[in-house]
Homo-oligomer: A and B are copies of this chain.
Amino acid sequence: MLHPDPAAPAAAAAAATRDGLPPMPGGPPHEESHFTASATVRDLVIGTADGLTVPFALAAGLSGAVAANPLIVTAGLAEIAAGCVAMGLGGYLAARTEADHYASERRREEEETRRYPEREKWEVAAILHRYGLKGEALRQAVEAIAADRRKWVDFMVRFELELSEPEPGRAARSAAAIGGAYVVGGLIPLFPYMIYAGTRPALVLSCAVTGAALLGFGWLKAKATGLPALRGAVQTLAIGGAAAGVAYLVARWVGG
């Protein structure tokens, strides 16, 4: 090695703490291209956007068939309740399963670093090799990673298995927020059927209100997930409109 340790005394203090990682150089101006909302606001926006579509389509569909408004409201609320439980409880249980899965995969990977260290070192090497590390630099990098079993297992779990460490508490809150917001989203297309006696004016108002809400929450959902906002708004409206149109035709055909 040319420099097993940095020799220059001036750099010694910095190098001792940063282990050879130099101070961060300047980079692109830190424009915040992502929505700065908290995770909970994000979940509320996603849940509301998702909650709009199916209750809207179901109510529109039933209004094309036999149904009177009280029955449409009953069906809509039953759907909202079912969707809320499926998303909330489903999300919560899925998050707990993921957390257990992560823990058991991590244990297995750690076990493998003990029983088959050469094979696991080779797997580290194979990953780094894909990004251009070769020869002595590759060998040193593998030894450095394998020198600390915790970091070694971290590396394998993240880069071989492509698993991120789950946060179970966060996932539970997220499921509750999405499930709750699904109720709010579902009530938007439904409330016109509660205030009007006739099916036709309720349908017209529901289309207008839900169309605006699909655009607005589609926009916010795209912003919250870092995707192009106008495109998100138009797509969300298109999906809601298509779902409602198809549901209307099906219900008319079956029940009309």
Residues of A within 8 A of B (CB): 1-6, 15, 18-22, 24-28, 53-54, 57-58, 61-62, 65-67, 70-71, 73-75, 77-86, 89-90, 93, 97, 100-101, 112, 115-116, 118-120, 122, 125-126, 128-141, 143-145, 147-148, 151-152, 154-155, 159, 162, 164, 226-228, 231-232, 235, 238-240, 242-244, 246-251, 254-255
**Nearest CB on B from A148, distance (A):** 5
In whole angstroms, what is the CA distance A246 to B90 when docked? Answer: 14
Give bound CA distance, A20 to B248, whole Å: 64
Chain A contact residues, majority secondary structure: helix
Q: A115-B28, A164-B162 are in contact. Are A239 and B85 (CB under 8 A)?
A: yes
Q: Do the beta carbons of B1 and A136 come within 8 Å of each other?
A: yes
The answer on a CB contact under 8 Å between B227 and A97 is yes
A-B residue pairs in contact (CB < 8 Å), sample of 13: A21-B125, A25-B119, A58-B75, A62-B75, A70-B255, A82-B247, A84-B246, A85-B243, A89-B243, A101-B228, A130-B151, A138-B144, A140-B141
* B255 x A74 contact (CB < 8 A): yes
Q: How many protomers of this protein does the assembly include?
A: 2
Set of chain B residues within 8 Å of A122, measured between Cβ atoms: 21-22, 24-25
**Chain B's nearest CB lies how many Å from the CB of A32?**
14
Complex Cα distance, B133 from A141, in Å, reads 6
A48 to chain B, nearest CB (A): 15
For the complex, what is the distance from the CA of A45 to the CA of B229, rounded to whole Å? 32
Question: In the complex, which residues of chain B have a beta carbon less than 8 angstroms from the beta carbon of A228?
Answer: 97, 100-101
Return A163 CB to nearest CB of chain B, in Å: 11
